């Protein structure tokens, strides 16, 4: 369907070019013919051939009572030029406007192609392995459990699990990093990654529509639907600005009634005024600026879901972080096992592993990896996971509780709090606390100097909200230089604390950065929610920005690109308005040529477009 639409657009462009060329030929003939009547007819024919689409747009807008745009202004100005026998100027205006439109389209297409190449991560085909054959299929046709072959240089079509021993992947399209990523057997391979090593076999883990590549494409396609405040302002501005301009032009046209100026000169001034007033530079360059900003972010592995979030990024004063998986790697390792005497240490680990066997929580995965033995799940009768606390499991041997201090205490089981730094998972069997294990998380390498760099960008306050213990949270906060810490929080408590932080900061713009299911309520509440790319699907769906590389330092790039985008857009607005105001004032008092008026419209628009594309130069 997209290809058909593209072909239709190309066909329409070719037709437009032919009409413009014919119009130019007729225009040149009209100039060299001495017979006035024939020349006038040829001028009119030339005008219609060159500007037919602009005239049609203006008429359609007129019938919809929404005519206050550049097309309407252009048609009124050029028809007025015909009325005062300025045929060559009328056609020159429409022709140069068309040339300007063509150059603008080329500039916009160029920026779109840059963005498309930056996010060209979809594989067109997949090599499905059958018993004795390989069948080439569409990624959409793959099913969970299918085995596919990814050859050297090919993109991974869907999120999968590596069956081969090792692989080397280029993941720059996903995370903006040129450094290859090495994976081992049974690790997850994300769709959109390019295999740069030997051919590998992978097993489909997610269908195409649920894979990373589809979600990225969907985010990019929907990004511009969420307009920034600047874009909304320009839309409102145009609706007020255009009728005022037309009224002023009418007043100028009526000058002969109260002054000695001739009727022809007054009309010329009025129509020149209309051409100068066309808001092309603002209408085109502002959305393009935000679009290029979104594209520049995507090249860095930062997916921005709408231009309004570029706006918001430049205004945030505080950033609130989740801890696990955001500032830390979220890769927990068992560092201590303690038994209170009834069970051996390996039995403590075994029972906790049984209790955690149905959970997808990162702590559960770390425990199961440490246990590294097959679990007989047939022994489990029921299993309940309690957010922010732990798990209750009923087995044939009795009730097992594994979780934090709160969970064991709520079950009225005698327990002594452990003071060691780390995530403590207690084990209780049939209402007796049997022991515990301690897991430790590692800080991400780029978290260490993150806060210092954010402060340089104007961020006033940084906060951690975590469900982890106060000792662990304070330890991480001290290493990273976080300003405030709130620990031992359940999901609802995170929401309450976040709301209180907003109230304390007089409702200044606050960002939240997280990766888990329990972060999604706060991500949706924040002025701008930022999810880590390896986080939960719900967190990614709820957020406004996704950092695909899972590096918190990408926040620096996101804010810098947003600030550069906003600065360039302000430059464009200031430049366009300044040129127009100066020439509009001059046109009211002196005689300005239509050529200068055209520069104020088409020329200024082109300059602002070129300026907007500079956003891509961010490094």
Please list the active-site residues. 322
Half-sphere exposure of 76 (CA within 13 A, CB side): 27
Q: How far is CA 564 from CA 35, 56, 74, 247, in A?
A: 57, 38, 33, 37
Q: How far is CA 279 from the centre of its chain?
A: 27
Neighbours of 64 (CB within 10 A): 8
Residues 6+ apart with CB under 8 A from 582: none
The helix or strand, by DSSP H or E, that contains position 546, with its residue range, turns out to be strand 545-547
Query: Which is nearest to 427 in space by CA: 49, 188, 225, 418?
Result: 418
- Given 3-state DSSP classes, what are the helix, strand and coil percentages for the chain, each rounded to the nearest 5? 55, 15, 30
- In angstroms, rounded to a whole number, what is the distance separating the alpha carbons of residues 11 and 86? 33
H/E stretch holding 169 reads: strand 166-170
Give the burial class of 42: count Cβ atoms within 10 A of its Cβ; 0-12 exposed, 13-18 middle, 19 or more buried. Answer: buried
Answer for the pair 503, 535: CB distance below 8 angstroms, yes or no: no
Phi–psi pair at 406, nearest 5 degrees: -60, -45
d(CA 501, CA 486): 11
Q: Looking at the chain, how many residues does it have?
A: 619
Residue 437 near residue 367 (C-beta atoms within 8 A): yes
What are the strands, taking DSSP E only, across 30-125?
Answer: none
Q: How far from the centroid of its chain's Cα atoms is residue 568's Cα?
A: 19
Q: Which of 277, 333, 319 is nearest to 581 (CA)?
A: 277
- The vertex-335 CA angle with 413 and 348, nearest 5°, equals 40
């Amino acid at each position: 369907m997209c290809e058909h639409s593209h072909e239709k657009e190309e066909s329409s462009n070719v037709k437009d070019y032919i009409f413009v060329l014919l119009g130019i030929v007729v225009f040149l003939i009209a100039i060299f013919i001495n017979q006035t009547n024939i020349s006038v007819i040829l001028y009119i024919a030339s005008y219609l051939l060159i500007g037919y689409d602009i005239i049609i747009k203006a008429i359609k807008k007129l019938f919809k009572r929404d005519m206050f745009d550049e097309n309407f202004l252009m048609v009124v100005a050029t028809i007025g030029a015909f009325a005062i026998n300025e045929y060559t100027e009328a056609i020159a205006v429409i022709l140069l406007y068309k040339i300007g439109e063509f150059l603008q389209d080329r500039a916009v297409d160029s920026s779109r192609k840059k963005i498309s190449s930056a996010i060209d991560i979809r594989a067109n085909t997949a090599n499905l392995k059958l018993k004795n054959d390989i069948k080439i299929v569409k990624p959409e046709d793959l099913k969970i459990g299918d085995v596919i072959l990814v050859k050297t240089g090919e993109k991974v079509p869907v999120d999968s699990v590596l069956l081969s021993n090792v692989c080397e992947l280029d993941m720059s399209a996903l995370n903006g990093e040129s450094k290859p990523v090495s994976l081992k057997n049974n690790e997850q391979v994300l769709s959109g990654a390019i295999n740069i090593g030997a051919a590998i076999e992978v097993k489909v883990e997610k269908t195409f529509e649920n894979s990373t590549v589809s979600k990225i494409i969907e985010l990019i396609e929907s990004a511009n639907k969420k307009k920034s405040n600047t874009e909304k302002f320009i839309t409102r501005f145009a609706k007020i600005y255009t009728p005022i301009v037309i009224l002023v032009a009418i007043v100028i046209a009526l000058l002969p009634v109260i002054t000695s100026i001739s009727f022809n000169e007054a009309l010329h001034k009025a129509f020149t005024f209309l051409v100068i007033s066309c808001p092309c530079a603002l209408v085109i360059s502002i959305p393009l600026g935000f679009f290029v900003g979104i594209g520049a972010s995507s090249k860095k592995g930062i997916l921005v879901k709408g231009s309004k979030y570029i706006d918001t990024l430049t205004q945030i004063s505080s950033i609130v972080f989740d801890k696990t998986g955001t500032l830390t790697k979220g890769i927990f390792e068992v560092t201590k096992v303690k038994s209170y005497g009834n069970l051996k240490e390996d039995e403590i680990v075994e029972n906790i592993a049984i209790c955690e066997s149905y959970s997808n929580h990162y702590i559960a995965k770390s425990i199961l990896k440490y246990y590294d033995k097959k679990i007989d799940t047939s022994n489990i009768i029921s299993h309940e996971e309690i957010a922010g606390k732990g798990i209750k499991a009923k087995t044939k041997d009795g009730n097992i509780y594994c979780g934090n201090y709160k969970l064991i205490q709520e079950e009225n089981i005698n327990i002594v709090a452990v003071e060691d730094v780390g995530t403590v998972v207690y084990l209780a069997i049939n209402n007796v606390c049997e022991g515990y294990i301690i897991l430790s998380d590692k800080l991400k390498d780029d978290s260490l100097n993150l806060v210092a760099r954010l402060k340089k960008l104007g961020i006033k306050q940084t906060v951690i909200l975590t469900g982890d213990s106060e000792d662990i949270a304070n330890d991480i906060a001290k290493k990273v230089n976080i300003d405030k810490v709130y620990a031992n929080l359940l999901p609802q408590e995170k929401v309450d604390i976040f709301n209180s932080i907003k109230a304390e900061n007089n409702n200044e713009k606050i960002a939240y950065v997280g990766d888990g299911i329990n972060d999604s309520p706060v991500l949706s509440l924040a002025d701008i929610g930022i999810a880590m790319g390896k986080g939960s699907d719900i967190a990614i769906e709820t957020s406004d920005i996704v950092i695909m590389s899972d590096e918190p330092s990408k926040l620096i790039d996101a804010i810098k690109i947003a600030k550069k985008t906003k600065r360039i857009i302000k430059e464009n607005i200031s430049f366009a308005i300044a040129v127009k105001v100066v020439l509009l004032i001059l046109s009211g008092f002196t005689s300005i040529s239509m050529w200068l008026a055209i520069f104020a419209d088409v020329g200024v628009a082109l300059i602002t477009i070129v300026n907007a594309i500079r956003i891509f130069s961010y490094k």
